[in-house]
Amino acid sequence: MHIVILPGDGIGPEISKAARQVLDVLDAALSLGLRLEEHPMGLATLDSHASTLPREVMDAARAADGVILGPVSTYDYPPVEQGGINPSAHIRIALDLYANIRPSRTRAGVQNVAADMNLVMVRENTEGFYADRNMLGGSGEFQPSDDMALAIRKISAGACKRIARAAFELASRRSKHVTMVHKANVLKVTDGLFIREVVKVADEFPDVRLDEMLVDAMAARLIGAPETFDVIVTSNMYADILSDEAAALCGGLGLASALNAGDKHAIAQAVHGSAPDIAG
């Protein structure tokens, strides 16, 4: 298996080094046949290649079986036309990584709020309210006048269907329980479409139980009874918020992990930022 490591910025090289050490130990113990290949990127290549994501790095990511991506300092990048490409977003779009898988579980010896928690948030990763993911051209967020700003939310049947299938396939290997999260009591059309497609997919998995919950109720229930959830599937922004809440309950964002996955590619990365102030 060929894995490309992209260290990132700030503390990225340090945590990527630790991740590589773990993989080396696993490879030696289990004879996994891993081939690890590291490529500089981010601020490390901005001067030398005039890009935070050189073409050869993108080509290596595309050719690999998997990628480990360290956190990046996108706030310190110049505009895109000056080479400041967001590596995470660019790779996600180029490789159609439509499923953002975010596990949250309590661990012995780690201070936490939730005593018994082991869930996975399955986040639709390609559309929703986020302006960089919902338009073929232009942006889904715009300002017609000085005192007005608008945002477009995109929900499509195809995207709902494939994220639902990812959630049910995962749940079928776990505790066979999926919770669908929405706000269809207010967003009747967009979240109504989401519900319709998830329910269709649920019919293909008769051994997996499907529940549903409003997003605000879920935010409260996560705190009160996180042990009642197994796999949670929802749209982009809801999952972005809820997964950080879940991470805080089981020890903090510093322990949070994520997998951006598509049908042919996957990228593992930390959820937290690059923390340049503590690098080194």
9, 191, 230, 244: the catalytic one is 244
Residues 77 and 132 in one domain: no
Residues 277 and 236 in one domain: no
User: pLDDT band for position 134 (50/70/90)?
Assistant: confident
Residues 54 and 124 in one domain: no
24, 211, 216, 263: the catalytic one is 216
Residues 91 and 103 in one domain: no
Residues whose CB is less than 8 angstroms from the CB of residue 182 and which lie 6 or more positions away in sequence, other chains included: 191, 194, 195, 212, 214, 215, 234, 235, 238
Residues 147 and 272 in one domain: no
What are the φ and ψ backbone dihedral angles of 220, each rounded to 5 degrees? -75, -40
pLDDT at 20: 95
Which tens digit of pLDDT belongs to each residue from 191-200? 999 999 999 9
Which tens digit of pLDDT belongs to each residue from 178-211? 999 999 999 999 999 999 999 999 999 999 999 9
Residues 73 and 157 in one domain: no
Residues 119 and 81 in one domain: no
130, 191, 230, 238: the catalytic one is 130
Structural domains counted in the chain: 2
Confirm whether 147 is a catalytic residue: no
User: pLDDT band for position 1 (50/70/90)?
Assistant: very high
Residues whose CB is less than 8 angstroms from the CB of residue 76 and which lie 6 or more positions away in sequence, other chains included: 9, 43, 276
Computed over every residue of the chain, the mean pLDDT equals: 94
Residues 166 and 184 in one domain: yes
Average pLDDT over residues 116-140: 88
Residues whose CB is less than 8 angstroms from the CB of residue 212 and which lie 6 or more positions away in sequence, other chains included: 179, 180, 181, 182, 195
| Percent of residues, the chain, with pLDDT higher than 70 | 100
pLDDT at 146: 97
pLDDT at 112: 79
Dist CA 117 CA 89 (whole Å): 30
Residues 186 and 279 in one domain: no
The model carries a pTM of 0.91
Average pLDDT over residues 234-252: 94
Residues 119 and 80 in one domain: no
pLDDT at 206: 98
Give the CATH number, domain containing residue 211: 3.40.718.10
Q: Where are the alpha helices (DSSP H) in the chain?
A: 12-30, 43-49, 55-63, 87-94, 157-172, 190-202, 215-224, 236-249
User: pLDDT band for position 88 (50/70/90)?
Assistant: very high
pLDDT at 277: 85
Confirm whether 59 is a catalytic residue: no
Domain that holds residue 184: 97-261
Confirm whether 75 is a catalytic residue: no
pLDDT at 114 over 80: no
| Percent of residues, the chain, with pLDDT higher than 90 | 85
183, 191, 230, 238: the catalytic one is 183
Q: Three-state DSSP class for 279?
A: coil
**Tokens at residue 155, please?**
């929900």
pLDDT at 138: 79
pLDDT at 271 over 90: no
pLDDT at 160 over 90: yes
Residues 118 and 132 in one domain: yes
Confirm whether 211 is a catalytic residue: no
Residues 70 and 141 in one domain: no
Confirm whether 244 is a catalytic residue: yes
